[in-house]
Amino acid sequence: MTHRGLVVERTERGPGEARWERAADRVPGIPGLRSIEVGSDLAGGDTVEQLARRVLRSPDDARLHLARVQALVDAGRPDELYGAVVDFLIATGTSAEHLRRTVVSGAAAVVGAERAAALTDHLAGGLTATDPIPPAPCSVLHLGITGRPLVEVVDRHAPVTVWSTP
C-alpha cells in the first residue's frame, strides 16, 4: 500500500518541494521530525531492515526515509544511520532544503564528526548515487564510490587540425 500524498515523482521535484516538507513535524529523536506511520506490514522482524528494503523498492517515498532515519537515531546505530541519511539525501536531491538540514543536523551526533561533515558538504548541491563519499555500506541507493577526487582533468589544448597531403 502506497500513501500517494507523500510519494514524490521525479518530475515533480523542485526546490522546497512541499510533499517532502509535508512529512516533517516534531519527534523526540530529531527535532523537527515526527513519528511516521508506515503501515502494519512491518510487524515482526527487524523494522529498520524492512524499511531499508522498502526504500530500495520505493526510493521516492519520503515517509519510508524519515521513519528509517528516526528509528536509527532512536536505536543509536551510527553505521546504519549514516547509510539511511545518504539514501535520504540521494532521494531528495536539492529539494526540501530545510528538511535535509534538519535530518543531517539531527543525525550528526550519532554518525560522528567526519561523516556529518561529509553529509553537510552535500546539502547545497545535493548528493547523487555516484558521488564519492566516506564508505556507506548500509546505504541501499548509493553505488559505493568512496573517497575524494584527487585528480582533475583539464583540457587546455586548442583543437588541432591534421591535414594530409596526397
So where are the chain's domains? 4-121
CB-based contact 136:86 (threshold 8 Å)? yes
String of DSSP letters for 115-131: HHHHHHHTTTT---TTS
- Asked whether the predicted pLDDT for residue 153 surpasses 80, the reply is no
Global pTM reads 0.68
Q: Using one digit for the tens of pLDDT, what is the confidence trace for 65-89?
A: 988 998 898 889 999 999 999 999 9
CB-based contact 60:4 (threshold 8 Å)? no
**Residue predicted with more confidence, 34 or 138:** 138
Per-residue confidence at 37, pLDDT binned at 50, 70, 90? low
* 72 vs 106: CA distance, rounded Å: 11
- Asked whether the predicted pLDDT for residue 151 surpasses 80, the reply is no
